[in-house]
Amino acid sequence: MITRYRTEVLRAVQAAIRPEDSLISRQRIEEEIEEHPLSYPGLSERSRTGRRRIISLAMSRMYPYWSKTGGAKPSSYVWKVRDEQGDDNKKGDRP
């Protein structure tokens, strides 16, 4: 199911991240989807809980967590999408 929404999550990340940022939070991705629901039809039709789950799973497969700590802490909902020089930090697809 995550693969189905991955494109929308990536588009939301690209639209939400500012050029000078290297990190993005799940909250910022959610805000982008809520502000532009027509751009993200699959994600915007999901419940808030479902949308959060999809964003978290998709982002965790594509990007490293900002913090190395485990568990459901606020820092686990922030991903490093670029290094400080602006290069993409994408992990690639995991099986």
Q: Residue ranges of the domains in the chain?
A: 2-80
What's residue 4's pLDDT?
A: 82
pLDDT tens digits, 47-70: 999 999 999 999 999 998 887 655
Gap between the Cα atoms of 87 and 70, Å rounded: 25
Question: Beta 78-80 vs 23-25: how paired, if at all?
Answer: antiparallel
The tally of CA atoms less than 13 A away on the side-chain side of residue 79 is 25
Gap between the Cα atoms of 45 and 40, Å rounded: 9
- Predicted structure pTM score: 0.80
Gap between the Cα atoms of 39 and 74, Å rounded: 27
Beta-bridge partner residues of 88: 82
Gap between the Cα atoms of 1 and 38, Å rounded: 20
Alpha helices (H) along 17-84: 26-35, 41-44, 48-62
Per the prediction, the chain carries an average pLDDT of 85
pLDDT band at 3 (very low <50, low <70, confident <90, very high): confident
